[in-house]
């Protein structure tokens, strides 16, 4: 028997932090310390880099097919300065979206960034964090003494980029000193180490996006595994951060009850019991627009994601387009079943919303 066959156990590799294949710098980015720090990282790693006057000029990324171009773009990082400092609203999860990055290296088939970023799916990070935080302070002061909440993951998954940017650490420490400011973000990545020893003053809620085994395996390539996410969730809770979970997108498929039932059961078994106080859950059903359906079918032609307009209900979306959600009966069944399972395993949890 050879050495290889003597050891049948397969070790599951940890999901590695994102490393871009190509990095573009906008010249102004190098006037900021974060820009220089990212350049040092790129040079130390021997990553190919180029200068560009603006990300809008990146039109010649290689790739023959739509799929290939998309895959290459997802491994391309653009380091720039955030020019628009008016924050978008971010209902229902927060008051405002705080912009520190746009785009994501994950390959979730259903991701709405495919539509919102359209032909520019590369990952962008912004180096002028101080200006972004000054703007956040203005928003907080305008609304004080009401609490103002900022969502840092509306257009990206910033945890997956933290080892390159350090931006979340800056936001967390800033918000720790803001009496009326709160931060929140959600992630499908487990790379939380750089956040564990920061002063956060309970002003940042970290949420992990979770889903049934079927949904994670079918539709969430290039993200951390369920077990990795839960291990990271336990670590951030043990570091004193308020913790939450987002079950999204909730998908109706043959066996969904079993799938979502097992999800909550596994979560309860895996999560240490000392971190379950004050847990929050958010639930978002799957939705899509006609534009999203066209793009997804081109980029992931073999996807099993069900996007049959005939089986859905139309809902008017805030961007002036119809989106397709589940009919009322299915929505109610999903909401009631998952809510019951949440309270069965986590009786003290809060459910923030189902949408």
* Comparison of 114 and 204: residue with beta carbon closer to ligand SF4: 114
Three-state SS at 37:
helix
| Minimum gap (Å) between residue 160 Cβ and ligand SF4 | 7
In terms of C-beta density within 10 A (0-12 exposed, 13-18 middle, 19 or more buried), how is residue 53 classed? exposed
R_g over Cα of the chain: 21
| Minimum gap (Å) between residue 127 Cβ and ligand SF4 | 20
DSSP 10: P
* Comparison of 107 and 313: residue with beta carbon closer to ligand SF4: 107
| Minimum gap (Å) between residue 212 Cβ and ligand SF4 | 15
* Comparison of 234 and 284: residue with beta carbon closer to ligand SF4: 284
Q: What is the DSSP string of 160-226?
A: GGHHHH-HHHHHHHHHHT-TTEEEEEEES----GGGTTS--TT-EEEEEEE--HHHHHHH-TTS--H
* Comparison of 188 and 203: residue with beta carbon closer to ligand SF4: 188
| Minimum gap (Å) between residue 223 Cβ and ligand SF4 | 5
Q: Residue 326: CA atoms inside 13 Å, Cβ hemisphere, count?
A: 19
Residues found near ligand SF4 in the complex (CB under 6 A): 104, 106, 108, 111, 113, 157, 188, 223
- The number of residues making up the chain comes to 355
* Comparison of 258 and 304: residue with beta carbon closer to ligand SF4: 304
- Across-strand partners of 77? 23, 123
In whole angstroms, give the CA distance from residue 212 to residue 226: 9
Three-state SS at 136:
helix
| Minimum gap (Å) between residue 195 Cβ and ligand SF4 | 17
Residues 6+ apart with CB under 8 A from 194: 162, 163, 166, 168, 169
Helix H or strand E encompassing 132: helix 129-143
* Comparison of 205 and 286: residue with beta carbon closer to ligand SF4: 286
| Minimum gap (Å) between residue 74 Cβ and ligand SF4 | 8
Q: Which of 89, 106, 108 is closest to 98 using CA atoms?
A: 89
* Comparison of 43 and 319: residue with beta carbon closer to ligand SF4: 319
* Comparison of 104 and 275: residue with beta carbon closer to ligand SF4: 104
| Minimum gap (Å) between residue 222 Cβ and ligand SF4 | 8
For the chain, give percent helix, strand, coil, nearest 5.
Answer: 40, 20, 40
| Minimum gap (Å) between residue 28 Cβ and ligand SF4 | 26
- 41: Cα separation from own chain's centroid: 23
């Amino acid at each position: 028997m050879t050495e290889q066959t003597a050891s049948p156990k397969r070790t599951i590799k940890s999901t590695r932090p994102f490393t871009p294949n190509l990095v573009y710098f906008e010249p102004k980015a190098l006037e900021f310390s974060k820009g220089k720090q990212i350049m040092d990282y790129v040079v130390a790693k021997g990553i190919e880099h180029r200068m560009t006057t603006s990300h809008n000029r990146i039109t010649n990324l290689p790739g023959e097919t739509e799929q290939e171009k998309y895959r290459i773009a997802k491994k391309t990082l653009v380091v720039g300065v955030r020019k628009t400092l008016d924050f978008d609203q971010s209902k229902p999860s927060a008051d405002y979206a705080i912009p520190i990055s746009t785009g994501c290296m994950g390959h979730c088939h259903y991701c709405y960034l495919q539509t919102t970023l359209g032909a520019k799916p590369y990952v962008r990070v912004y180096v002028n964090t101080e200006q972004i935080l000054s703007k956040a302070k203005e928003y907080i002061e305008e609304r004080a003494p009401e609490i103002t909440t900022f969502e840092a993951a509306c257009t990206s998954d910033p945890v997956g980029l933290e080892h390159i940017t350090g931006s979340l650490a800056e936001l967390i420490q800033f918000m720790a000193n803001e009496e009326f400011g709160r931060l929140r973000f959600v992630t499908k990545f487990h790379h939380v180490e750089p956040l564990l020893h920061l002063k956060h003053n309970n002003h940042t809620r970290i949420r992990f996006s979770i889903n049934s085994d079927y949904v994670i395996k079918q539709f969430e390539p290039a993200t951390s595994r369920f077990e990795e996410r839960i291990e990271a969730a336990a670590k951030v809770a043990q570091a004193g951060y308020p913790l939450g979970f987002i079950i999204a997108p909730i998908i109706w498929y043959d066996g969904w009850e079993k799938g979502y039932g097992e999800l909550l059961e596994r979560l309860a078994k895996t999560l240490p019991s000392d971190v379950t106080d004050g847990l929050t859950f958010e639930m978002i059903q799957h939705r899509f627009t006609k534009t999203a359906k066209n793009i997804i079918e081109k980029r992931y032609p073999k996807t099993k994601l069900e996007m049959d307009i005939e089986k859905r209900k139309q809902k008017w979306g805030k961007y002036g387009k119809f989106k397709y959600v589940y009919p009322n009966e299915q929505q109610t069944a999903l909401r009631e079943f998952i809510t019951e399972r949440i309270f069965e395993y986590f009786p003290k949890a809060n459910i923030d919303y189902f949408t």
